């Protein structure tokens, strides 16, 4: 058996802190973790709990260390230290399960083992040393950790128009439609990078035009007619816009959107996709929670523009910049410790994922259906917009904390923007398993590929629209390899000390560089950051579009029993809540497996009607559930 290292020990301690089930800790009490969660622990080197603690000794003693112990639930609550307050309180449990205890105040060290496994000294060209946890500055082999930060700081800031400037732009579009469709009801909502503050000066303003239901039904039926003089008919509107002097007209069939340039103003508009505008709010919420988020997105956007990897400028095998932003946010929430919390699931121990704010977006109507690529999909803009960034408070390790009457976030991760960007390139260039997994912001950074994505090369799940792949622009294996090799090349050069400016503008064939020791192999082999490894046992979903039960039958009739039977193969249905007459929120549990491994369909037929399934969040089952 391989000897454990300090990294293995650190991962074990952090794991037990993460899944600690005690309440109201003061800091010196032991952390308590139920047996079934400890059975799931495995360090990044493949070692389990017993493999690590069996090699430990207490500080300056020759006896086994008592930093780690185990007991039964009944023994824990019956212990005199429980009554005296030396043990933290613990929730009532229905069985006497085994508990593993970790005392953070007790000294612990690993015994030195001279006969280390020979396999530890072996590494292939693309293998990397054990991951590192970035909670403090570390020696990185002579590469200036602030080099990229300095260059990015000197570049022009990304653009965020003021509300007044945005409204002036929207008014241009509003007047055009009012002149040609004076009797139509239309509500204009701006969104996108210009609103969220991550735009270049040349970026277009995205606008959703919401029409009333009768008009929208008629448009869906008639707008395909080339001669139909309707707002959604691109053929007709291109003539209208052209007569007004608009240029660079285009139509995106996937988004059903029209883009054009008029009087130096760039627009892209679509119809009745109001829930999509919530993605802008989601990004803004993430940006405000850590001062490194906006500079990292800025770095990524300058890199993407310099390397010409963004669609639609890259006409084939490209991903829109929005997809890269979702990749960046997914990366930041998956680090250990994370730079950001997962706003679509702030409390992994609370199946209801509750917060303190009555006005939070999670407590408003967050579900809908939307059109994407001419197909109706389920949608859920469920995320917490009530979390504050509190720089003066104590750091958060994994999840948000309570400070009086509000929840706050302050990351304990100390990496610089440059270090994060280099690790982003490493993660998506070398480490990520594109064949089996998808990038997923709402599921903690990654999730198993869904069945409908099996033919896609790169899967980036839209955080709001179910079954929508933001990475679908990469259409073949050659495109995926080019994508990966571009990231690897940039990683190799930047980790090797080549300037960011040189990488984005003056290196024609960047894909030729591929070395974990940096440019010309001069650095020590790269040691990536740790990634969070959660083992959720409950999943919460929304079922949108269920058949509506007549009002006179609602008291005696319900779809509940049929739905419970339908989802019995996934686990035990714990909660079934009515969100409205056609939408239910369902939570199911399977303690025997990681529910993130369960492949859920995005729609199914129910009583002859198509129902849309939207995954909301995963949770850790409390021991007493």
3-state secondary structure 224-264: CCCCCCCCCCHHHHHHHHHHCCCEEEEEECCCCEEEEEECC
Return the ∠ at Cα 6 (arms to 418 and 420), rounded to 5°.
Answer: 10
Pairing of strands 68-72, 186-191: unpaired
Closest by CA to 526, choosing from 138, 77, 182, is 138
CA distance linking residue 618 with residue 612, whole number of Å: 18
Domain segments of the chain: what residues?
A: 6-58+65-102, 163-221+233-272, 277-286+305-532, 540-616
Phi, psi of 394 (to 5 degrees): -70, 150
Pairing mode, if any, of strands 98-102 and 56-58?
unpaired
For 323-348, the pLDDT digits (tens) are 999 999 999 999 999 999 999 999 76
What does CATH list as the number for 277-286+305-532? 1.10.1410.10
pLDDT of residue 313: 72
The continuous run of DSSP H or E covering 576 comes out as: strand 572-580
**Structure-block tokens of residue 404:** 């009086």
Per the CB < 8 A criterion, the answer to whether 99 and 37 are in contact is no
Domain 163-221+233-272 has CATH 3.40.30.10: no
By the 8 A CB rule, do 604 and 613 touch? Answer: yes
β-pair type (56-58, 108-110)? antiparallel
* Close Cβ partners of 244 (under 8 Å, ≥ 6 residues apart): 176, 262
How are the residues of the chain apportioned to helix, strand and coil, as percentages rounded to the nearest 5?
30, 20, 45
- Between helix 321-334 and helix 278-287 the angle, nearest 10°, is 40
What's the CA gap between 388 and 401, in Å, rounded? 10
The residue assigned the tokens 């995963």 is 618
Give the three-state DSSP class for 473: coil
Question: What is the structure's pLDDT at 221?
Answer: 58
d(CA 534, CA 439): 15
Where would I find the H helices in 540-592? 560-566
CATH architecture of 540-616: 2-Layer Sandwich (3.30)
What distance in Å separates the CA atoms of residue 534 and residue 37, rounded to the nearest whole number? Answer: 10
Q: What is the pLDDT of residues 243-297, one digit of tens each?
A: 999 999 999 988 889 999 999 999 999 998 999 999 999 999 999 999 999 999 9
609 forms beta bridges with 606
The predicted pLDDT at position 514 comes to: 96
Give the per-residue pLDDT at 123.
34
Residue spans of beta strands (DSSP E) within 476-602: 538-544, 572-580, 583-589
pLDDT at 219: 52
In which residue ranges of the chain is pLDDT below 50?
Answer: 58-64, 113-126, 136-137, 224-225, 622-625
Alpha helices, DSSP H, located in 155-211: 163-180, 193-196
Structure-token pair, residue 611: 């129902």
Asked whether 609 and 545 are in contact (CB, 8 A), the reply is yes
For residue 24, the 8-state DSSP code is S
């Amino acid at each position: 058996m391989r000897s454990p290292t300090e990294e293995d020990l650190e991962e074990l301690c952090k794991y037990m802190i993460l899944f600690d089930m005690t309440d109201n800790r003061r800091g010196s009490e032991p952390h308590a973790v139920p047996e079934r969660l400890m059975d799931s622990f495995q360090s990044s080197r493949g070692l389990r709990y017993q493999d690590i603690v069996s090699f430990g000794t207490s500080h300056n003693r020759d006896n086994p260390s008592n930093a780690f112990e185990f007991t039964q639930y009944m023994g824990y609550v019956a212990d005199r230290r429980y009554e005296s307050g030396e043990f933290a309180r613990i929730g009532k449990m229905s069985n006497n399960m085994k508990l593993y205890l970790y005392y953070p105040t007790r000294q612990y060290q690993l015994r030195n083992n001279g006969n280390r496994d020979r396999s530890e000294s072996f590494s292939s060209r693309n293998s990397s040393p054990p991951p590192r946890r970035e909670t403090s500055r570390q020696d990185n082999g002579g590469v200036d950790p602030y080099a990229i930060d300095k260059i990015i700081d000197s570049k022009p800031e990304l653009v965020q128009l003021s509300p007044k400037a945005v409204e002036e732009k929207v008014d241009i579009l509003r007047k055009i439609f009012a002149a040609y469709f004076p009797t139509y009801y239309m509500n204009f909502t701006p969104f996108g990078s210009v609103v969220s503050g991550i735009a270049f000066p040349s970026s277009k303003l995205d606008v959703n035009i919401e029409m009333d239901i009768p008009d929208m039904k008629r448009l869906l039926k008639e707008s395909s007619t080339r001669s139909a003089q309707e707002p959604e008919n691109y053929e007709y509107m291109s003539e209208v816009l052209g007569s007004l002097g608009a240029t660079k007209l285009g139509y995106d069939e996937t988004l059903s959107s029209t883009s054009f340039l008029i009087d130096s103003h760039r627009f892209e508009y679509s119809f009745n996709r109001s829930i999509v505008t919530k993605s802008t709010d989601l990004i803004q919420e993430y940006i405000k929670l850590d001062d490194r988020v906006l500079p990292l997105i800025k770095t990524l956007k300058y890199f993407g523009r310099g390397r010409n990897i963004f669609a639609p400028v890259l006409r084939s095998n490209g991903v829109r910049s929005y997809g890269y932003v979702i990749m960046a946010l997914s990366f930041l929430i998956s680090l250990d410790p994370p730079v950001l919390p997962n706003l679509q699931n702030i409390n992994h121990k609370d199946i209801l994922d509750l917060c303190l704010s009555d006005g939070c977006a999670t407590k408003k109507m967050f579900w809908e259906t939307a059109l994407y690529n001419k197909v109706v999909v389920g949608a859920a803009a469920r995320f917490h917009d009530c979390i504050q960034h509190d720089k003066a408070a104590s750091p958060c390790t994994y999840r948000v904390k309570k400070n009086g009457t509000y929840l706050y976030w302050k990351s304990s991760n100390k990496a610089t923007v440059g270090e994060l960007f280099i690790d982003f390139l490493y993660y998506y260039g070398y480490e990520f398993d594109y064949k089996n997994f998808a990038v997923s912001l709402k599921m903690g950074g990654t999730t198993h590929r869904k069945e409908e994505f099996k033919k896609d090369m790169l899967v980036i799940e839209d955080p709001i629209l179910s079954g929508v792949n933001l990475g679908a622009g990469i259409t073949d294996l050659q495109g995926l390899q080019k994508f990966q090799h571009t990231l690897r090349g940039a990683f190799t050069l930047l980790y090797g000390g080549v300037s960011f400016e040189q990488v984005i503008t003056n290196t024609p064939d960047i894909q030729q560089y591929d070395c974990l020791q940096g440019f010309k192999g001069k650095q020590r082999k790269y040691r990536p950051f740790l990634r969070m490894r959660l083992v959720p046992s409950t999943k919460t979903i929304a079922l949108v579009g269920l058949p509506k039960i007549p009002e006179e039958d609602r008291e005696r009739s319900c779809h509940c029993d049929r739905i419970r039977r339908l989802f019995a193969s996934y686990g035990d249905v714990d909660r079934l809540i009515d969100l409205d007459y056609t939408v239910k929120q369902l939570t199911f549990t399977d303690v025997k497996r990681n529910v993130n491994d369960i492949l859920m369909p995005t729609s199914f037929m129910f009583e002859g009607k198509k129902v849309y399934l939207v995954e909301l969040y995963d949770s850790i089952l409390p021991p007493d559930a």
